[in-house]
Chain A
Amino acid sequence: MIRLDIKKVLFGAKGEMLLNISLDIKRGEFLILSGESGSGKTTLLRILAGLESAEGKIEVDGEVWLDKYISLAPQKREIGFIFQDYALFPNMSVEENLLFVNRDLELAKHLLDITNLSSLKNRYPNSLSGGQKQRVALARALMRRPKLLLMDEPLSALDPKMRLRLQEQILELHREFKTTTIMVSHDLAEIYTLSDRVAVMEFGKIIKIGYTRDILLKDSNSLELIGKVLSIDSRDIVILVGRDIVKVPLNGLKFNVGEAIKVLINGSNLKLDTL
């Protein structure tokens, strides 16, 4: 069980902002933090890791990591952290990156096996692809058998196919190690696939939190798509939705060319078909 209640004044792009988060996370839970950039998600992860100071309290399985008197150093918090840019040690091979954390040869071998990295264990990070680096980062983060795994948009730099494969791998590792996980993500499919709960942050606060399905699943009778306005004349508007270009009556609404707009499809005649 992780309990946190923290406050910190941040100076961001939008001026001064109070990060004020109160959250309970169950052991083994997978929580995803979502929300606009600059809403304090990364800072929250860094505070949990002990990389940034804050006021308040952090308690993990009954152990105090932060309160008025204590602020445990990052070294003492049993945390696995995955940075957006992977942050692998360039001077160490894949295997050495893992063993640097913990000289547990057996665990390293096991993690290299399940992340399909065994054949690459003697390679250096500079010679790996993005997806491979990400798997090394994931394996390295688990070498400490952390109480808490923190991931800051770990898949954002990968192509969609790679993303899907890594989501599966993350899920597999989560099932095996049952590590309590907090991950920052914006990708709806990713949130849906991976998380038990999702918290949406805005301007330093959690504005919505709940079970992923409750938050994400919509009434099946409506669908919201994003479209881009291509052209407008007096009566009609031409929009790019997905890979289709459609012409719709304007009905007196005002849009600008190039603007991204919502396209709502309502009614009971929502139909599905294979491609």
Chain B
Amino acid sequence: MFELLRQIEWTPFLISFKLASITTLILFIIALPLAWYLSWTKSKLKPTIEAITALPIVLPPSVLGFYILILLSSNSLIGNFFEKYFGIKLLFSFSGLVVASIFYSLPFMVQPIQSGFESLNRNIIEASYLSGKGKIETLFRVALPNIKPSILTAVIITFAHTVGEFGVVLMVGGNISNETRVASVAIYELVEIMDYKMAHIYSAIMLIISFLVLIVVYILNKRVGLK
């Protein structure tokens, strides 16, 4: 048993969780103003922005991965910019994975936060404006503290969804050990080389972790909801 545990390569799991943590943090910062804006705007552009935000849910990961591949390549504007000024190659690197994951998990962060904002009593937002507070102060002092369950859901679902991504990661990051080989890709590879024993162990670890994450979400949500 201990012999078996010693054989397990933990790096893919570490990469998975590092990727998920960084992606979740950056996405929270991006999604907060976006969700806030979408929750009160009456702009005609709103459905378009919402549709773009939701695209990653319906697009096959390979399609999304393909476009990100094109977008990040050294020949593209973005890829070129990062390579020239920061010396970062985005394709087949961890940084590229982060960028891809941000696109891939965007709706999972934006949608719960937006619906949290939309379910808030409009009157308390207006009461804050009438107290002389601007939109930003209202966001941080009134709106945000009153949608804690939605924030919690958004953060944990985004994290879990990023840990679980496979197609996009494989297309944009490939399968480079210690760099882009995340847990899901590692399992795919183990199956390909028919190492079913390790594939079983890896899969079981992922299953248990995912289950625990979801249990924690539901328990926390129940507690926060009760308060």
Which residue numbers of A lie inside 8 Å of B, CB to CB?
49, 51, 73-77, 79-81, 83, 85, 87-91, 100-102, 140, 143-144
Q: Which of B123, B124, B132, B146 is close to A101, meaning CB atoms less than 8 Å apart?
A: B132
**B110-134 interface (Cβ within 8 A of A):** 121, 123-124, 126-134
A144 in contact with B124 (CB, 8 Å): no
14 contacts between A and B (CB under 8 A): A51-B130, A74-B130, A75-B132, A75-B134, A76-B132, A81-B130, A83-B123, A83-B126, A85-B123, A89-B128, A89-B142, A91-B146, A101-B131, A102-B131
Given contacts A76-B132, A87-B126, A88-B124, 16 further A-B contacts (CB under 8 A): A75-B133, A75-B134, A81-B130, A87-B123, A87-B124, A89-B128, A89-B142, A90-B146, A91-B142, A91-B145, A100-B133, A100-B141, A101-B132, A102-B131, A140-B127, A143-B131
Which residue on chain B has the smallest CB distance to residue A85? B123
Instruction: Name the B residues within 8 Å of A91 (CB-CB).
Output: 142, 145-146
* A1 nearest CB across to chain B (Å): 22
- Binary contact track B131-148/A, C-beta < 8 Å → 1, others 0: 111100000011001100
A49 in contact with B146 (CB, 8 Å): no
A87 in contact with B127 (CB, 8 Å): yes
- Binary contact track B151-181/A, C-beta < 8 Å → 1, others 0: 0000000000000000000000000000000
Q: Give Cα A34–Cα B141 distance, bound, in whole angstroms.
A: 35
A49 in contact with B128 (CB, 8 Å): no
* B131 nearest CB across to chain A (Å): 4
B131 in contact with A49 (CB, 8 Å): no
A75-B132, A75-B134, A144-B132 as given contacts; A83 in contact with B127, CB under 8 Å = yes
B129 in contact with A87 (CB, 8 Å): no
Which residue on chain B has the smallest CB distance to residue A126? B227
Q: Give Cα A260–Cα B134 distance, bound, in whole angstroms.
A: 49
Instruction: Name the A residues within 8 Å of B132 (CB-CB).
Output: 75-76, 101-102, 144
Instruction: Name the B residues within 8 Å of A90 (CB-CB).
Output: 124, 146
B145 in contact with A100 (CB, 8 Å): no
Which residue on chain A has the smallest CB distance to residue B147? A91
Instruction: Name the B residues within 8 Å of A81 (CB-CB).
Output: 126-127, 130
* B71 nearest CB across to chain A (Å): 39
Greatest chain B CB density within 10 A among A73, A88, A90, A91 is at A91
Q: Give Cα A215–Cα B145 distance, bound, in whole angstroms.
A: 47
Q: Give Cα A91–Cα B133 distance, bound, in whole angstroms.
A: 16
Q: Give Cα A51–Cα B126 distance, bound, in whole angstroms.
A: 8
Q: Give Cα A76–Cα B134 distance, bound, in whole angstroms.
A: 10
A75-B129, A144-B131 as given contacts; A87 in contact with B146, CB under 8 Å = no
Q: Give Cα A74–Cα B142 distance, bound, in whole angstroms.
A: 16
A85-B121, A91-B146 as given contacts; A100 in contact with B126, CB under 8 Å = no
Instruction: Name the B residues within 8 Å of A144 (CB-CB).
Output: 131-132
Instruction: Name the A residues within 8 Å of B126 (CB-CB).
Output: 49, 51, 74, 81, 83, 87
A90-B146, A91-B142, A100-B141 as given contacts; A49 in contact with B123, CB under 8 Å = no
* A48 nearest CB across to chain B (Å): 11
- Binary contact track B166-205/A, C-beta < 8 Å → 1, others 0: 0000000000000000000000000000000000000000
Greatest chain A CB density within 10 A among B127, B133, B142, B145 is at B127
Q: Give Cα A88–Cα B124 distance, bound, in whole angstroms.
A: 6
* B157 nearest CB across to chain A (Å): 23
